[in-house]
Amino acid sequence: SKPTFCAAVDLGATSGRVILGAWSKNKLTLTEAHRFPNTFRSLGTNDYWDIGGLWHEVQTGLRKAIALLPKGAVLASVGVDTWGVDYALVNDAGRLVFPVHAYRDARTQAGLKKLGDTRAALERVYAATGIPNVFYNSSLQLAEAVASCPAIEDQATRCLFLPDYFNFLLSGRMANELTIASTTQLLDVHSTDWSRATLDHFHIPAQWFSKPVLAGTKLGTVTSLPELKGVKVIAVPGHDTAAAYDAMPAAEDGSDLFLSSGTWSLVGFESDSPVLGTEALTTRVANERIGDGRYRPLKNVIGLWLLEGVMKSFADRPKNDKEWAALITAAEKLPAPKTLLDTGDPSFANPPSMKAAIDAHLKKRRAPAPKNLPTYVRLICDSLGQGHAEAKSAFERMTGRTFKRILMVGGGSKNRLLCQATANAANVPVISFSLEGTAVGNLASQLISLGAVKDLKTFRRHLAADLKQTTYTPAKR
Ligand code: LFR
């Protein structure tokens, strides 16, 4: 039978890509059509995404994907996933009526503190949504938008999270998708609809949202690019982390812990029920959702954002794969640092200089600042490994489960030092896959919706059959 071609638009906070997937004989082949850097920009004291620039790159990528098709072949569908929480406020015609802010914008700090300081409100919000109080939550962002620009209540009629907004730009259809909705702290943790009480708590207009659709919903066809006329637009798991988790070739008994490692380290697992209660709240478990409506309890460890930040202070930072390999080797040879970073320190969220923030953090703990780039790399990888292991223990304590392996995907899964540090700290094998997890999960959802693959279980089984993997065994203690 002929291959099925789908395009995955996968937008990350530091880079984006458009990937063409071909499904044939139970095998998925990826071709990268387009890759581009992404960054937010500051205007005054606020941070914004260049949303027009991103849409331009998406269109360029889709045109390149079409050009890659073999003669006579057609693109069946396209799906979009992005980082979590950010949104576009639009009117009925789809016009942007508020600039698109970036989640690292410090505008949420006052709201973060206020909710953090009011235990009763925090408990109520957590019990209703299963999402802890984190600086980037859409709840805090939207509350700030409404409070600082009250006229927005009259001007905006819809809130589209970024995958929803790109789906709208492609198809003309406005819909909220469930996984991205679950990152907002506004979704009801016990249903698949919005939490009215939480929207009211933050003074966010409930009419801005519609009941989220599940992943796999066909939204229509591409209307905005003539070259893609007739191509289906499918709502995939719009949250990149949900997409990456779908691509995990996991054991069916639920004994695998998932780690999607990139700018953020996202540690979690799949579950039929949410993880709630006092310990879940204090250890900040986020009960995000899987495309089909189930749960993906997750802990967000700061991730390689630390390293990306530190790099900016070093002129001798690696510029190609060879230099990267040399840096990792140099870091590996160093003795293990005596003091690790507490990766939960809020001062790492968006500091002017990450190097200075790390040095100050160490000074408070009476430890010396690292002396060169390899020393920072070693410190960061060991600290993240420790953070991953702590997340694992917390989940085991709260659920009574035992995780036998950690499955790792994403950019960080190529970092030997980080994989080994995680295996050592967690004391279980880490299996790293060379897999574009987010794009693969995005494509899987399209293939299932199109009927080319029966279900996710079947997809994972086929995927696992021809995947390159590396096992990191924990060092003897
Ligand atoms: C990763 C991610 C994380 C989310 C963070 C902010 O790209 O989606 O899951 O917590 O970005 O949205």
- Provide mean pLDDT across the span 212-223: 98
pLDDT at 252 over 90: no
Q: For residue 38, how far is its CA from the centre of ligand 1 (angstroms)?
A: 14
**Is residue 174 over pLDDT 80?**
yes
Q: Give me 138's structure tokens.
A: 């859409």
| Cα four-point dihedral sign 136, 137, 139, 140 | negative
Mean pLDDT of 259-269: 94
Map residue 23 onto helix, strand or coil.
Answer: strand
What is the Cα–Cα distance from 364 to 362, expressed in whole angstroms? 5
The pLDDT of residue 354 is: 97
At residue 70, the pLDDT reads 97
CA dist 147 and 414 (Å) reads 43
Arithmetic mean of pLDDT over the chain: 96
Beta-ladder partners of 301: 265
Tell which one of 15, 183, 284, 287 to mutate to probe ligand 1, the residue whose CB is within 8 A of the most ligand atoms: 183
> Please, what is the end-to-end C-alpha distance for the chain in angstroms?
53
Nearest CA to ligand 1 atom 12: 84
Contact between 444 and 24 under an 8 Å Cβ cutoff? The reply is no
Nearest CA to ligand 1 atom 1: 83
Helix (H) or strand (E) holding 24: strand 15-24
The CA distance from 154 to 92, in Å, is 11
DSSP string, 399-413: H-----EEEEESGGG
What does DSSP assign to residue 85?
S
For ligand 1, what atom is nearest to the CA of residue 300? Answer: 10
Instruction: Name residue 458's amino acid.
Output: T
Mean pLDDT value of segment 32-36: 98
Q: Is 380 in the pocket of ligand 1 (CB under 6 A)?
A: no
Residues in the chain: 477
What pLDDT digit, counting tens, does each position of 382-393 carry?
A: 999 999 999 999
Return the residue whose CA atom lies nearest to atom 11 of ligand 1: 83
- Residue range 390-403: average pLDDT? 97
Q: What is the mean pLDDT of residues 29-45?
A: 97
C-alpha–C-alpha distance, residues 62 and 3, integer Å: 18
Q: What is the pLDDT of residue 71?
A: 96
**Rounded to whole angstroms, how far apart are CA atoms 444 and 343?**
33
How far does the centroid of ligand 1 lie from the alpha carbon of residue 433, in Å? 20
Residue 477 has pLDDT above 80, yes or no: no
Ramachandran angles phi, psi of 180, nearest 5°: -70, -35
The answer to whether the CB of 159 falls within 8 A of the CB of 208 is yes
Q: Supply the residue whose CA is at minimum distance from atom 10 of ligand 1.
A: 84
Q: Residue 133 Cα, ligand 1 centroid: separation in angstroms?
A: 14
Residue 57 Cβ contacting ligand 1 at under 6 Å: no
Among 157-161, 179-183, 196-200, 252-256, the least confident range = 252-256
The pLDDT value recorded for residue 61 is 98
Q: Is there a contact between 171 and 223 (Cβ–Cβ < 8 Å)?
A: yes
Residue having the nearest C-alpha atom to atom 5 of ligand 1: 84
Report how far ligand 1's centroid is from the alpha carbon of 32 (Å): 22
Q: How far does the centroid of ligand 1 lie from the alpha carbon of residue 266, in Å?
A: 8
Q: Does 434 score more than 90 pLDDT?
A: no
What proportion of the chain, given as a percentage, has pLDDT over 70?
100
Under a CB-based contact definition with an 8 Å cutoff, are residues 199 and 284 in contact? Answer: no
CA-nearest residue, atom 9 of ligand 1: 241
Kindly indicate the confidence band of residue 435, based on its pLDDT and cuts at 50, 70 and 90. Answer: confident
Active site residues: 240
pLDDT tens-digit map of 335-382: 999 999 999 999 999 899 999 999 999 999 999 999 999 999 999 999
Averaged pLDDT for residues 123-144? 98
Minimum CA distance residue for ligand 1 atom 2: 83
Could you give the ipTM of this predicted complex?
Answer: 0.91
Tell me the average pLDDT across 208-235.
97
How does pLDDT run across 265-319, given as a tens digit for each residue? Answer: 999 999 999 999 999 999 999 999 999 999 999 999 999 999 999 999 999 999 9
pLDDT band at 204 (very low <50, low <70, confident <90, very high): very high
Q: Which of 239, 296, 302 to mutate to test the pocket of ligand 1 (most atoms within 8 A of CB)?
A: 239
Of ligand 1's atoms, which has the minimum distance to the CA of residue 84?
12
Cβ(241) – ligand 1 distance below 6 Å: yes
Question: β-strand 232-235 against 46-49: which pairing, if any?
Answer: unpaired
**Is residue 288 lining ligand 1, measured as CB closer than 6 Å?**
no
State both tokens at 476: 């003897």
Residues contacting residue 300 through CB under 8 Å, at least 6 positions apart: 134, 264, 265, 266, 267, 284, 286
Ligand 1 and 423: CB distance under 6 A: no
The proportion of the chain whose per-residue pLDDT surpasses 90, expressed as a percent, equals 95
Q: Is the CB of 84 under 6 A from ligand 1?
A: yes
**Does the pLDDT of residue 40 top 90, yes or no?**
yes
Q: How confident is the model at residue 224 (pLDDT cuts 50, 70, 90)?
A: very high
Quick check: CB of 411 below 6 Å from ligand 1? no
